[in-house]
């Protein structure tokens, strides 16, 4: 059942020669190690690229948050300005001072009464 050691070696060298590895002196372990090293390098490059994309996205998010904060400050200023401009007392003062408007006297007013039909 067990072949002599020299037969096993010769069969192994025949198998390697069939694969084209015996002539170059490269073993299956060397090829596997080379493939694994290549995969590790590809994984390392993928990790670096993913980290770069993550940092770029974080920078975009931070810039967007800054724009949102600036817009919120602007919106607050505009609301304050609107409340100041639309104040009833300010409008009345502008009407009397700049436009010389005044309330009409009672004798200059007329009351219009509309009659409802059907009653």
Distance between CA atoms of residues 28 and 116, nearest Å: 107
Q: How many domains does the chain have?
A: 1
How many percent of the chain have pLDDT more than 70?
A: 78
Condensed to tens digits (0 to 9), the pLDDT of residues 73-118 reads 999 999 999 888 888 888 888 889 999 998 889 888 888 888 888 7
Residue 22 has pLDDT above 60, yes or no: no
**Is there a domain that residue 80 lies in?**
yes
**Is there a domain that residue 111 lies in?**
no
- C-alpha dist (Å) from residue 3 to 6, 10, 11, 101: 8, 11, 10, 122
**Is there a domain that residue 55 lies in?**
yes
First CA to last CA distance, the chain: 125
Joined together, the tokens standing for residue 17 give 């020669």
Distance between CA atoms of residues 77 and 46, nearest Å: 47
Domain that holds residue 16: 5-102
**Is there a domain that residue 114 lies in?**
no
Residue 9 has pLDDT above 60, yes or no: no
Residue 65 has pLDDT above 90, yes or no: yes
- Listed in sequence order, the DSSP H helices in the chain are 5-19, 28-85, 88-97
**Is there a domain that residue 18 lies in?**
yes
Residue 24 has pLDDT above 70, yes or no: no
**Is there a domain that residue 30 lies in?**
yes
Distance between CA atoms of residues 16 and 28, nearest Å: 9
**Is there a domain that residue 25 lies in?**
yes
Joined together, the tokens standing for residue 109 give 């007013």
Residue 3 has pLDDT above 60, yes or no: no
**Is there a domain that residue 118 lies in?**
no
35-56 average pLDDT score: 97
Count of CB atoms situated within 10 Å of the CB of 9: 11
């Amino acid at each position: 059942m067990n072949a002599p050691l020299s037969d096993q070696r010769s069969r192994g060298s025949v198998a390697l020669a069939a694969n084209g590895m015996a002539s170059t002196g490269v073993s299956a372990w060397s090829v596997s190690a080379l493939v694994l090293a290549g995969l590790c390098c590809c994984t390392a490059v993928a990790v670096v690229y993913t980290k770069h994309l993550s940092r770029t996205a974080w920078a975009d998010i931070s810039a967007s948050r800054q724009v949102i904060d600036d817009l919120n400050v602007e919106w607050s200023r505009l609301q304050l300005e609107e409340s100041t401009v639309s104040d009833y007392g300010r409008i009345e003062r502008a009407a009397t001072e700049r436009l010389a408007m005044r309330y009409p006297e009672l004798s200059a007013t007329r009351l219009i009464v509309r009659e409802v039909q059907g009653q």
